[in-house]
Chains A and B, each alone.
Chain A
Amino acid sequence: MNTEREKKVHAPLTGRRYNSVDELLAAESVSHEVRSAVSKLDMETMIVHNLIQMRHSAGLTQQQLAEKLGKTQGAISKLESSSDTEITLDELRAYCQATDEQIMLCIGKPMNHVESVKWHASGIKEHLSALAKMAHGDSDMEQAIQAFFGEAFFNILTILSKCQNEMPNSKDVQVRMKQIGNPTKQQQTPKFVGNVPA
Chain B
Amino acid sequence: MWQIEPIPQWEKDRKWYEKNRPNELAAVLHNLKRYVAQINASPNPKSFHAGYIHPEPHGVVALDQKGGGGNLQETRLYVFPHEEQKVLYIITIGNKDEQSADVQFCSEFVESFKNG
Interface set of A (CB-CB < 8 Å, partner B): 1, 3, 5-6, 8-25, 28, 30-31, 33-34, 37-38, 41-42, 44-45, 49, 52-53, 56, 61-62, 73-74, 77-78, 80-83
Q: A21-B32, A62-B49 are in contact. Are A41 and B9 (CB under 8 A)?
A: no
Asked if A17 contacts B22 (CB within 8 A), the reply is no
Task: Give, as a whole number of angstroms, the nearest-CB distance from B75 to chain A.
Answer: 13
- Please report the C-alpha to C-alpha distance between residue A19 and residue B45 in the assembled complex, in whole angstroms: 17
Asked if A3 contacts B20 (CB within 8 A), the reply is yes
Asked if B101 contacts A56 (CB within 8 A), the reply is no
**Residues of A contacting B29 with CB < 8 Å?**
21, 25, 30, 34, 38
- Please report the C-alpha to C-alpha distance between residue A33 and residue B30 in the assembled complex, in whole angstroms: 13
Contact partner, A18, options B3, B12, B51, Cβ 8 Å: B3
Sampled A-B contacts (19; CB under 8 Å): A5-B98, A8-B12, A8-B105, A11-B9, A14-B6, A14-B11, A15-B5, A16-B6, A17-B4, A21-B33, A25-B29, A31-B18, A33-B18, A38-B26, A41-B26, A53-B37, A61-B47, A81-B51, A81-B67
**Residues of A contacting B12 with CB < 8 Å?**
6, 8
- Please report the C-alpha to C-alpha distance between residue A83 and residue B115 in the assembled complex, in whole angstroms: 40
> Which interface residue of A18, A33, A42, A82 has the most chain B CB atoms within 10 A?
A18
B interface residue count range (under 10 / 10 to 19 / 20 to 34 / 35 or more)? 35 or more
- Please report the C-alpha to C-alpha distance between residue A78 and residue B53 in the assembled complex, in whole angstroms: 11
**Residues of B contacting A9 with CB < 8 Å?**
9
Contact partner, A34, options B6, B22, B108, Cβ 8 Å: B22
**Residues of B contacting A11 with CB < 8 Å?**
7-9
Task: Give, as a whole number of angstroms, the nearest-CB distance from B2 to chain A.
Answer: 9
**B108 nearest in chain A by CB position:** A10
Asked if A31 contacts B22 (CB within 8 A), the reply is yes
B96 close to A (CB within 8 Å): no
**Residues 1-58 of B contacting A (Cβ, < 8 Å):** 1, 3-9, 11-12, 14, 16, 18-20, 22-23, 25-27, 29-30, 32-34, 36-38, 41-42, 47-52
Task: Give, as a whole number of angstroms, the nearest-CB distance from B15 to chain A.
Answer: 9
Asked if A49 contacts B34 (CB within 8 A), the reply is yes
Asked if A77 contacts B48 (CB within 8 A), the reply is yes
- Please report the C-alpha to C-alpha distance between residue A23 and residue B4 in the assembled complex, in whole angstroms: 9
Asked if B34 contacts A45 (CB within 8 A), the reply is yes
**Residues of A contacting B22 with CB < 8 Å?**
31, 33-34, 37
